């Protein structure tokens, strides 16, 4: 993945890959699973290790993806996403450590997003609104170096 618009280590696929730190909240066609999950001490944290594996994105026609770049301070933080105007219909991804051009990168990767606009949430506070996702494209946001993107605020 590059911030300059080109993306490497990201593959398009008709298959959906889980294990990217996603859990769902609410119901609806974009939700995965039942909406139930726990963060108990018995579960292995996805953020507890680097993720050198390729990211598989399911995008095409009316389905896009969003990659949020952050600083290391957000490692493990859940970033929630909801369609604009549907704040209660959220799913989330954890910020995970990946590698871009041989250097550590901290990203939350949302795939299978219907073309439209979205609200992003951190600690139950709207962090960004009207984030546009286009079909067959990968949108990117850079929250690195942004004090508002920190886990506490």
Domains and CATH numbers, the chain: 10-32+46-149 (2.60.40)
User: Which pTM was predicted?
Assistant: 0.69
> What is the full DSSP assignment across 45-104?
PGGGSB--SPEEE--BTTEEEEEEEE-GGGTT-EEEEEETT-TTS-EEEE-EEEEETTEE
Look at residue 45 in the predicted model and tell me its pLDDT: 60
| pLDDT tens digits for range 81-139 | 999 999 999 999 999 999 988 899 999 999 999 999 999 999 999 999 999 999 999 99
For the ranges 12-16, 31-35, 105-109, the maximum mean pLDDT occurs at 105-109
């Amino acid at each position: 993945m590059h911030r300059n618009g080109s993306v490497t280590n990201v593959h398009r696929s008709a298959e959906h890959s889980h294990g990217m730190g996603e859990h769902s909240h609410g119901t609806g066609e974009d939700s995965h699973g039942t909406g139930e999950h726990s963060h108990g001490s018995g579960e292995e944290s996805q953020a507890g290790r680097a993720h050198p594996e390729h990211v598989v994105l399911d995008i095409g026609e009316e389905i896009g993806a969003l990659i949020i770049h952050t600083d290391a301070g957000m490692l493990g933080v859940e970033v929630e996403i909801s369609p604009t105007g549907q704040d209660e219909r959220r799913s989330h991804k954890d910020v995970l450590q990946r590698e871009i051009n041989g250097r550590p990168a901290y990203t939350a990767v949302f795939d299978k997003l219907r073309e439209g606009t979205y609200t992003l949430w951190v600690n139950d506070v709207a962090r960004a609104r009207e984030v546009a996702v286009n079909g067959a494209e990968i949108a990117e946001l850079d929250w690195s170096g942004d004090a508002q993107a920190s886990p506490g605020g």
